[in-house]
Structure 1
Amino acid sequence: MPSLTDLLERVERLLLRHDELKRTNTLLQEQVQALSQERDSLRSRLGAARSRIDALLERLPVETTEPGKNS
């Protein structure tokens, strides 16, 4: 049977590990938030770029082919 001192040491180690894990979790949550903001910004930029490309494509002349002529 473990002694009271052994149990106390084990509890202290568990508390230290718990604190480490809490700090790690906080850092990971901050990273997730930063990456989510970056993703949202990139999506927005992609949407704007697509809109500009669509507008440019609409300005291109439509090519028509006459019957009997190969382009």
Structure 2
Amino acid sequence: MAKITVEKPYEDVKNALEEKGHTVTMFNSDENVSGYDLGVVRGINEGHSDEFTFPVVAMSGMSIDNVVEAVEHRLSQS
């Protein structure tokens, strides 16, 4: 399964992804993170999408179920 990082404080998203069998860690928005298959962030600021060396799912406006679906879809594409 995938190695995923989720922006704090979204423990509920972390738990939902772990239930799907993924390895999930949390990160602070000001941390420099790398080495993951995918990241889940609150939102992507214009011009900041190059902060990550892996694909990200921005969860603004999405339910937890939608986030999990988006993550699994994104992972199936890579």
TM-score range, shorter chain: under 0.3
TM-score between both structures, scaled by the size of structure 1: 0.23
TM-score in terms of structure 2 length:
0.21
Q: Which has the higher strand share?
A: 2
Higher Cα Rg, which structure: 1
- Report the structure, 1 or 2, having the larger helix content: 1
Relative contact order (C-alpha < 8 Å, sep 6+): which is higher?
A: 2
